[in-house]
Amino acid sequence: MKNPKKLYDKKITCLNCHTYFETKKPILNRLRIIDSETDGHKIYKENSPMLYEVNVCPICGFAFDDRLNNPLYEDDIKKLLSYFQTVKNFEQYCQERTIQDAIRISKLAIYIATTIDEPKTLRGAQYLKTSWLYREINDKENEEIYLKKSKEFLEDAFENEDFEYFGLRLHVLYNILSETSRKLDLYEDAAKYYSKLFRCSTTPNYMKQKAQNNWLDYNNR
């Protein structure tokens, strides 16, 4: 018996050059989660959706996902001119991807989002996902670098943006910041965000229980 198909071709229009192209995406009902970590990272048996979240145009190399908040304006394209002139070896990213492909693509997306000044909420989320990709290959040094950037941007978003507009719930943000602070061994920050998470009225009981266990383990080291 043949193995069931795990990927399909999704039709996409590039936000920069308006080229119509197809790119691989996982078939969601065939995904199998084998573990869920406390900061939101899900580990899949194969074909993690995280590998395919960011689309890459095979013509111009523009990297974007469905959450890109603003259309590209003429000024944005001018800012990205250097990127379009120098980005290379991106044509294969519409096919099946490796985790190394996904790491490079995620970095391209961060570069673009920074250049066109996308909201801190979205950039913080992309830094977090990049740290998860490094975690999956046990690259602790780079995982920590991107965790720190994620924390920095999400704290800025907490203070200055309507992060819930982008689908990030308050208790989820508290959970990310508390778990990130714990992983970075920032005790005072961890204590602050765990306290906010425990007191937040929308925090689900299962999340509170996991967070309480992590906080107790962290305190009892």
pLDDT tens digits, 121-143? 999 999 999 999 999 999 999 99
Phi, then psi, of 139 in degrees rounded to 5: -95, 85
Rounded distance between C-alpha atoms, residue 164 and residue 121, angstroms? 9
Average pLDDT over every residue of 146-155:
98
Residue closest to 117 by CA, chosen among 86, 84, 80: 80
- Counting Cα atoms < 13 Å in the Cβ hemisphere of 18 gives 3
pLDDT at 1: 41
Average pLDDT over every residue of 38-48:
91
Name the strand (E) or helix (H) holding 1. none
The pTM of this model reads 0.92
Rounded distance between C-alpha atoms, residue 202 and residue 166, angstroms? 17
CB 162 within 8 A of CB 181: no
Distance of CA 31 to the CA centre of its chain: 18
Four-CA torsion 93, 98, 103, 108, nearest 10 degrees: 0
SS3 49: helix
Output the six-digit token pair for 65: 């996902």
